């Protein structure tokens, strides 16, 4: 019986931590990213709630390139070079990740 106590303790702790993490499996409700590929230097990010969004952009090696917060739906990307990037959007404790192509 004493051998079961550490296992039970582990499951209780694991359950507690899993309930406080970000919701990464469901994504952001109504998430839309357009146009992709980006040709005019602007991209529009819309969601169901249109709350403020924290935006992080990474290159293909995982290095952070840009971090900003937008209140509306328009994001200016004219400073980025042509290429493929990873875009992460954080809104109201939810996360969406997409590939972003800039031509």
pLDDT digits (tens, 9 = 90+) for 25-45: 458 999 999 999 999 999 999
Q: Please say whether the beta carbons of 96 and 66 come within 8 A.
A: no
Residue 16: pLDDT band with limits 50, 70, 90: low
The DSSP line for 27-81 is --TT-EEESSSBSSSEEEEE-SS---EEEEEE-TTS-EEEEEEESSSEEE-TTSP
CATH of span 26-102: 2.60.40.3080
Closest alpha carbon to 27 in 45, 9, 41: 45
pLDDT digits 0-9 by tens, 42-72: 999 999 999 999 999 999 999 999 999 999 9
Q: Give the Å distances, CA to CA, from 46 to 13, 15, 52, 59, 93.
A: 37, 33, 11, 22, 16
């Amino acid at each position: 019986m004493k051998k079961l106590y550490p296992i039970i303790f582990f499951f209780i702790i694991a359950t507690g931590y899993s309930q406080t993490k970000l919701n990464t499996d469901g994504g952001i409700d109504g998430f839309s990213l357009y146009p992709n590929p980006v040709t005019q230097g602007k991209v529009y990010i819309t969601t169901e709630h249109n709350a403020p969004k924290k935006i992080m952009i990474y290159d293909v090696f995982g290095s952070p390139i840009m971090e900003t917060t937008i209140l509306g739906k328009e994001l200016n990307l004219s400073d980025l070079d042509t290429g493929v990037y990873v875009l992460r959007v954080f809104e109201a404790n939810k996360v969406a990740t997409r590939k972003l192509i800039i031509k």
